[in-house]
Chains A and B, each alone.
Chain A
Amino acid sequence: MTPEERTAAPPAPRKRSPRAGTWAVGGRGVPLPLLLPALLGLAFLLVPLLALLVRAPWSGLPEQLTSAGVWQALRLSLICATAATAVSLVIGVPLAWVLARVEFPGRGLVRALVTLPLVLPPVVGGVALLMALGRNGIVGRWLDSWFGVTLPFTTAGVVLAEAFVAMPFLVISVEGTLRAADRRFEEAAATLGASRFTAFRRVTLPLIAPGIAAGAVLAWARALGEFGATITFAGNFPGRTQTMPLAVYLALQSDPEAAIALSLVLLTVSVAVLAGLRDRWMTAS
C-alpha cells in the first residue's frame, strides 16, 4: 500500500513508523531537498480541491443542485458514461483478448495504436471522429446514405466520443490481467472439450473479472470527465449532448457559483469512484 491509498481510506488505522511526527523514517531524517518539493507537490494537488470546498456557495447549494439544468446534465453524463463503458466492454474485452492471446505480425504496433487515444489530445480525437463518422466522414457518409444514421451532435455521438477516449483504459487493464492470468486454465478447459470461445466464456472471463471491473471503472471515470472530444464531435446542446463537464465550463462564464456547485457534484462522484476502486481493485491486485 502506498501512503496515498492509506490516507484515502478513512477508517484505516494509521500505520506509521514509531517515530512518526518527527519526520523521521527508520531513524533517519528526510532530506529537505526532497521533503520541500514533496510537500509542495501535495499542496499543489490538494489546494485547488480545498478551494473548491471553501468557495462553495453552501447556502445556495440545495437550490443550485435541484435546478432542472443540473439534473439534466448529470443524468446525461451518467447515461453516456455508462453507455460508453458498455460499448468499451463489448468491443474492448475481445480486443484485449486478441492482443494478449493471438500472435500475429505487427501486434506490437497494433497495441501501440490502441493506446494512442490515451496520449492524444481529446480535441484531436474529436476532430478525427468527425472526419470518420461526420456527415461527410469516410464512414459517416455511408451511414447517412444507407441507414440514415447521423452521429455527430447527437447523444449517440457523445457516447462514441467518450468510448473513443475511455476504451484504451479498459483494453490496457484487461490485457494486462489476461497476460498475468494462468493460461494453463485455458489448456485444461481445452482438454475437457471446450472450444477456445467456450474456454474464454466459462473459464477466462470469470478469472479475469476483477481486472475487467477495474478497467470498466477507470473507463467510466474517464468517460464521465470527457470534455474535448465530446464538445468537438457532439457539440454542446443542453439535454442532448451537454454533459456535466460541458455544463461546468459553460456555467463558469455566466454563473460561477453554479459552476462550483456542478464541480462539487463531479468531485463527489470521483471520490466515490476512488473509494470503490480502492475496495474492489487496489487491494485485490
Chain B
Amino acid sequence: MTTRDRTESPARETGAGAGLDARLVVDRGSFRLDVALTAAPGDVVALLGPNGAGKTTALRALAGLVPLDGGHLRLDGTPLDRTPPEGRPVGVVFQDYLLFPHLTALDNVAFGPRCQGLAKADARERAAEWLDRMGLAAHAGARPRRLSGGQAQRVALARALATRPRLLLLDEPLAALDARTRLEVRAQLRRHLAGFEAVAVLVTHDPLDAMVLADRLVVVEGGRVVQEGAPADIARRPRTDYIAQLVGLNLYRGRAEGHTVRLDEGPSVTITEELSGPVFVAFPPSAVTLHRERPTGSSARNLWQCEVAGLETHGDRIRADLTGDLPLAADLTTAAAAELDLFPGAKVWGSVKAVQTHAYPA
C-alpha cells in the first residue's frame, strides 16, 4: 500500500532528499508511536486519526518538543534527530495558537525573525509584510486578546511562516474556531498552504479539514499508520472501521470468489467486480433500502434480515443503525421512515444492489 502510494507521486522520488523523510518512534510505556512520514516540498500532508492516536505526539516529535526514542528525521537531507527545537527550520501553528499575550500581533510575528538575528526594525518590517499578506495590516498593533479567533489563527500562521520554515506544522488548525469562521478560515488556509513551497504537515481529527487542506492523508490509529494516500482514494477505499465511519461508508472484510464475497463475520455479499482472495466491501448507507416485509421480485441480490437498534436525524435524512445478519447503517428519507413505521426493535429487511457496492483487495 505504502510503496504504491509513493510511486504515485514521482515528485517524492526526485530532488535527492529534498523534503521530509521521517520515521518517528516515541515510546511512552503503554503507548508506542511508530509512524513513517515522507513528503516532497510543496506537499501538504494531513495526519488524520481519532483522539489519542498519537497525531499530536508525532507533530511534537517533528518540532523537537518530544525526543525520538528511535527512527530518524531528515529535512532536505539534513538529519534533525538531535537538533533542539530552536535549531530546527520548523514552524508550528499550535491548536490554540499560543500567541504571546504581552506582545502585539506585529511583535508576535517579528519574534521569530528577531530570534534568527534580524535587527528589530528589519524583523518588524518582515512581520508587517506577513500581516499584510494575511490581510491583517490593520490589526498589527492589537494584542492577541483583542483579535477574533480567525484573526488570531492568521497571526499564528504568519508568525510560523515568518521564520521561513522548511517544514510547517499545524496542530488542529481549525479546531478552536466556531462553525461559521471555520468555513472562511479553512478556505484562506487552503490558499496559504497551496502557496507554501516547503512541506506542510497538519494534524486533524476532522476528515473534511483533512480532505480540503491536504494532498495526501496519513491515517494514524493506535500510534501506527493504517492507511495513506490521496483523499479521494481513501474516501473511496477505506481500510479501517474508523475511516469508513469518517467518510460515511459501511465497510466489511471478507474473502472473494468471483462475484461473491464471503464476509469474515456474517453472510455473503454479491459484488460486480470479479476478485479473489481477501477483500474489503464498502457501500454508502444511502444504498441500503429497507422493507418491513421480505421483498419479492427485487432486483437486489443482497438481502439481510435486520433489527433497528437506533434512529437519529442526519441532516434532512434519518440514519438507522441496524443489527442482525450484518451490522449496517442505512439512510432513508423522513417520509420513508414514517411509512415503514420504524422504531428501535422493529424487524426489517435491508437490501443493497450489487452495483452500489464497491470491492477492493485488502
Contacts and interface: CB of A to CB of B under 8 A. Distances in A.
Nearest to A195: B86
Report, as a range, how many residues of chain B touch the other chain. 20 to 34
Nearest to A185: B98
Interface in A160-197: 182, 184-185, 187-196
Contact of B100 (A190, A191, A203): A203
A207 B101 contact: yes
Nearest to A184: B98
A191 B59 CA distance: 12
A193 B118 CA distance: 12
A206 interface: yes
Interface in B81-112: 84-88, 90-92, 94, 98, 100-102, 111-112
A206 B101 CA distance: 9
Contact of B159 (A192, A196, A198, A203): A192
A189 B159 CA distance: 10
B163 interface: yes
A184 B100 CA distance: 10
A157 to B, nearest CB: 38
Given A184-B94, A184-B98, A207-B102, A191 B111 contact: no
A192 B102 contact: no
A202 interface: yes
A196 B354 CA distance: 62
Interface in A87-145: none
Interface residues on A, range: 10 to 19
Interface string A199-225: 000110011000000000000000000
Nearest to A205: B102
A192 B98 contact: no
Contacts of A192: 86, 91, 111-112, 115, 159-160, 163
B63 interface: yes
Given A185-B100, A203-B100, A193 B63 contact: no
B92 A188 contact: yes
Nearest to B111: A192
Contacts of A196: 86
A193 B84 contact: no
Given A184-B98, A194-B86, A189 B65 contact: no
Contacts of B112: 192-193
A215 B312 CA distance: 57
A181 to B, nearest CB: 11
Contacts of B86: 190-196
A68 to B, nearest CB: 46
Contacts of A187: 63, 65, 85, 98
Interface of A: 182, 184-185, 187-196, 198, 202-203, 206-207
Interface of B: 63-65, 84-88, 90-92, 94, 98, 100-102, 111-112, 115-116, 159-160, 163
Given A187-B63, A190-B65, A192-B160, 18 more contacts: A182-B98, A185-B100, A187-B85, A187-B98, A188-B100, A189-B111, A190-B84, A191-B65, A192-B111, A192-B112, A192-B159, A192-B163, A193-B115, A194-B115, A196-B86, A203-B100, A206-B102, A207-B101
